[in-house]
Amino acid sequence: MMVYKNGYPNNNNMIQELILKKILEKALQEVSRFFRERKFVFDSGEKDFENAISRHTQEVINWSSEITFKDLSQNKYTSKVFIDLDVYLMPIKTKIEASEKIQKITSKNLFSHTPKHLAILGQPGAGKTTLTKFICQSILIDESYYPEEFRIPLLIRLRDLNNYISEKSGRSPIINFLFDLLGLTIRSKDASVKEEEMLLAKERLLIPILEELKSLIILDGFDEIAEKKNREKVLEDFRKLTLSCNNTRLLITSRSSDFNYSFENVAVMEICPLNDNQVKEFARRWLVEDYKVADFLGELEKSPFVDTAIRPITIGHLCAIYERSGKIPDKPKTVYRKIVSLLLEEWDEQRGVRRVSQYGSFELDRKLEFLCRLSYELSVEYQRTNFSSKNLKTIYNRICIDFDLKKDENVQVISEIEGHTGLILEAGYKKYEFAHKSLQEYMCAEHLVKLPSIPDLKLLTTLPNELAIAVTVSSNPSLYFTELVLNHFIKIKIAELFIINFVNRLLLEKPDFNTSPEVSLAIIVLYSLFRDDEVAQATLFHFDLPKQFGQFVDRIFLRNKKLSINGVYDVFAKDEMDSGEIVLRLRKKGKRGILIGKYESPEIIHVKKSFVADLDDQFVV
């Protein structure tokens, strides 16, 4: 028989009281001899037990019924927005080869797949707590949700133990917490009783009560326990209970990097990133109306940060912003900064979680600086988002001294960053990766713009996306763009693919170019560099920069005057594109080109008529 299905704790009181009375009587009968021999007395009454369960169940209902965070205009009901998640049957970091496939199940099948207790891992924002809220709601209200398995959930939010342990002796925190939660009290007639004996008595009484209750004990947020010694105490109790309980099951959740343990009778699983269908379903449940869902997904698909939507925390905040404003932020840099802030600090702050660094001066701002530097070094050195532990160690040894970190602590430092931020992940055996390529690009760009000068461009010719973002996040995009093109790109051989990717990313990033004649010159020179490469490859008459480049130029000239080149350059060739547009090749008439500040235009430039203010139709050969 169910205790709390089909309603809240006050329904069917007579049946509930009868069941709870029998549970308590049976447990006391089992420990009666132990208590008598050791002079322990059970001081609670049946009403204390019943009231404690009723009170706790109501607290769980209130906690689990809604999802809330700062960006939401109003809270969301868990039952309405929860989507069934996929769960790997083993942690992803156990993969030996990148190609290895790990079997997965849906979260609704967690308890039917295995009779074992569960450890559910996930990256920050993967949906661990929302999953536990859904499970709590389902046990209490949904009659079809494992009716033979669970009567009630018993919830311990492990962050609450940080204060609880300091108030108590600190030993057996889970057993003590459950004992108090259930309204149980015992005392000894022997004034000299030792703490170990009292804890043993509590354990002997608690186990049979839990077994008769047929509850699911949820330990949410192992990573939120601040001190290592307290984590060890929690794990000791977890081990005891998982070996002692058969009818009651335990489920512990944790960030992946913080749970590197293996226990008998415990299955360790990990929440998968959202797939495309789940992202669509997530948006449908949050935004409801079809036209809003379609518009949101369309905007998301066109954005450079679409890869971040695989985490519920990210797409949830993007949906919340869209719900309030009718659009996602126009500038991608706004989203990058929001997501990094969420993962670094804001999400923990909203939930009252404090994470303590094991390294004295390695606070959040330094972690971000470290990640930005790491992103830059790895991007320049390896040009990819994933890397081996050997790659990581090489780069760590190069930069650790700048952050007052020790060389032999590279594994521990990266593990702390993974646990505290989720921006870098252990993706397999001795394999790591950035959580999202777009965020790696953004952090690399943040490091670039804080350098005292633009580095040797030969190092950067593989980073068109990062340089485009650097232009956007710099304090003066016009000046940064001009310096890149007129003092760096122009001096070395730039491949056409680099320019295409650079321009495409600028179009996506939408930098704010202010009024500056240098920008007008830089646009013409950038286009000319592309055409020069095309001429060299004899593909001139077949290919041009994307059509959006024209829109990009038009947007710049809304604030800037087009350059006057008549009298400075002559046309010496016309090239016809596949599109039918004409590109003019121009050569200086004399020794001097167009001078703007410290910059001078090159010997030969390529322009469309729309790029300049005045140009004769004269065809000069």
Question: What are 254's strand-pairing partners?
Answer: 121
User: Which amino acid, residue 149?
Assistant: E
**Token pair belonging to 35:** 């208590």
Average pLDDT of span 455-465 = 80
* 471 or 497, which is more confident: 471
Q: Rounded mean pLDDT of the chain?
A: 84
Question: In terms of Cα–Cα distance, which of 534, 452, 535 is closest to 500?
Answer: 534
Name every residue whose Cβ is closer than 8 Å to that of residue 479 and which is 6 or more positions away in sequence: 516, 518
- CA dist 158 and 365 (Å) reads 26
pLDDT of residue 149: 93
Spell out where 81-232 has E strands. Answer: 86-88, 104-106, 117-122, 153-157, 186-188, 216-220
The fraction of the chain above a pLDDT of 70, given in percent, is 89
CA distance 150 to 17: 17
Q: What is the pLDDT of residue 292?
A: 95
- The CA-atom distances, in angstroms, between 158 and each of 55, 150, 154, 217, 254 are 19, 21, 12, 12, 10
**Residue 621 pLDDT:** 43
Of residues 85 and 554, more confidently modeled = 85
- Can you give the pLDDT at residue 3? 45
Domain 13-67+75-271 top-level CATH class: alpha beta
Domain residue limits, the chain: 13-67+75-271, 276-330, 457-614
Q: What percent of the chain has pLDDT over 90?
A: 36
Over residues 63-72, the mean pLDDT reads: 84
State pLDDT tens for residues 230-278.
999 999 999 999 999 999 999 999 988 889 899 999 999 999 999 999 9
- Among 141-150, 378-387, 533-542, 587-596, which range has the highest average pLDDT? 141-150
Q: Distance between CA 486 and CA 491 in Å, rounded?
A: 8
pLDDT at 1: 35
Say if residue 166's pLDDT is above 90: no
Mean pLDDT value of segment 49-77: 88
Q: Any idea which residue has 């950035």 for tokens? A: 434
pLDDT, one tens digit per residue, over 24-59 is 889 889 888 999 888 899 988 888 999 999 999 999
Q: What is the pLDDT of residues 121-138, one digit of tens each?
A: 998 888 999 999 999 999
> Collapsing DSSP states into helix, strand and coil, what is residue 252?
strand
pLDDT at 69 over 80: no
Name the DSSP class of 192.
T
pLDDT tens, residue by residue, 198-226 = 899 999 999 999 999 999 999 999 988 88
Per-residue pLDDT reduced to its tens digit, 405-424 = 888 877 777 777 766 666 77
**Burial label, 156 (beta-carbon count in 10 A; 0-12, 13-18, 19+):** buried
Q: Are strands 117-122 and 266-271 parallel, antiparallel or unpaired?
A: parallel
DSSP state of 489: G
User: Among 175-189, 420-434, 579-593, which is the least confidently predicted range?
Assistant: 420-434
Tokens of 113: 């797949």
Which helix (H) or strand (E) element contains residue 585?
A: strand 582-588
Is the pLDDT at 10 greater than 70, yes or no? no
| Single-letter amino acid, residue 127 | G
Write down the residue that tokens 């050791």 correspond to. 38
Tell me which of 479 and 410 has the higher pLDDT.
479
Backbone angles phi, psi at 329, to 5 degrees: -50, 140
**What's the pLDDT at 15?**
54
- pLDDT tens readout for residues 301-354: 999 889 888 889 889 889 988 988 899 888 899 988 888 887 777 545 555 555
pLDDT grade, residue 7 (50/70/90)?
Answer: very low
- The mean pLDDT of 545-559, rounded to a whole number, is 72
Q: How far apart are CA 573 and CA 583, in angstroms?
A: 9
pLDDT number for residue 13: 58
pTM above 0.75, yes or no: yes
